[in-house]
C-alpha cells in the first residue's frame, strides 16, 4: 500500500514539475523578447489607425482582459484616457487607466499607464504604423519603466524581483499580442490564430 501511495505522489510531483517548466519556458519566450511585435493588416494605414485610436472601436480589440471605457467617442486626443476594468474584478481593485501621451494620425499612438497614488509610469504601449504595399504593419512595443526602476534599485537582492518583473512584462506583452490579433480580426474578419507575427 505504501508503494502505491509513493508512486501516486511521485506521478503528481512529476506532473506539477512538467507543467511548471512548460509554462515557465513559454513565458520566458515573451519575457526575453524585448523587441517590437509586428502585425500585418490587409488595410490602409488610415483605416487601421481609425480602428486603433477611435474611442468607439477600441473596445472591439482591447477587451481581451475585461471591459474598456474610452473617455471620448471620436479620435483620441492628447490627454484622453482609456480605462480597462479586469474581468471578474471590482472596479476599484483592478482598474487601469491608459493615458494618451502621443497621437499622430495615421502613424503613431502612445499610451501610458500611471500609478494614481505615486504618479509613476507603470507601463507604456507604442503603436507605430508603417505602410507596406497594400497592407499596414502595426509595430507594437511594451515597456515598464516602473519595473525597470525597481530592478535597478534592488540590484543586490534581485533574483526574485527580476523573475517577477520578467513574468509581469511577459504577461503584458502576451496580452498586447492577443489584442493585436483581435484588432486584425476586427479589420480583416480572419481567425485570430493566424494574426500576430513576432
pLDDT at 48: 93
Per-residue pLDDT tens for 126-139?
999 999 998 999 99
pLDDT at 159: 60
pLDDT at 194: 43
pLDDT at 4: 78
Residue whose grid cell is 471605457: 69
Per-residue pLDDT tens for 181-193?
888 988 887 554 4
Domain 35-194 annotated CATH 3.30.530.20: yes
Angle between helices 159-188 and 45-53 (to 10 degrees): 120
Euclidean distance between CA atoms 195 and 127, whole angstroms: 16
Query: For the chain, which residues make up each domain, given as ranges?
Result: 1-31, 35-194
Amino acid at each position: 500500500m505504501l508503494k502505491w501511495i509513493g508512486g501516486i505522489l511521485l506521478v503528481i510531483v512529476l506532473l506539477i514539475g512538467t507543467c511548471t517548466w512548460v509554462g515557465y519556458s513559454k513565458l520566458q519566450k515573451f519575457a526575453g523578447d524585448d523587441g517590437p511585435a509586428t502585425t500585418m493588416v490587409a488595410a490602409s494605414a488610415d483605416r487601421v489607425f481609425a480602428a486603433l485610436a477611435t474611442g468607439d472601436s477600441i473596445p472591439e480589440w482591447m477587451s481581451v482582459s475585461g471591459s474598456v471605457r474610452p473617455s471620448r467617442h471620436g479620435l483620441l486626443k492628447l490627454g484622453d484616457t482609456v480605462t480597462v476594468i479586469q474581468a471578474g474584478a471590482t472596479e476599484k481593485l483592478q482598474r487601469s487607466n491608459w493615458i494618451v501621451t502621443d497621437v499622430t494620425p495615421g502613424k503613431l499612438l502612445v499610451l501610458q499607464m500611471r500609478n494614481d497614488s505615486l504618479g509613476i509610469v507603470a507601463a507604456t504601449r507604442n503603436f507605430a504604423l508603417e505602410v507596406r504595399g497594400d497592407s499596414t504593419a502595426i509595430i507594437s512595443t511594451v515597456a515598464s519603466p516602473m519595473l525597470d526602476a525597481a530592478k535597478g534599485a534592488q540590484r543586490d537582492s534581485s533574483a526574485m524581483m527580476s523573475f517577477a518583473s520578467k513574468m509581469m512584462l511577459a504577461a503584458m506583452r502576451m496580452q498586447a499580442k492577443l489584442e493585436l490579433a483581435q484588432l486584425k480580426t476586427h479589420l480583416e474578419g480572419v481567425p485570430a490564430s493566424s494574426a500576430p507575427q513576432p
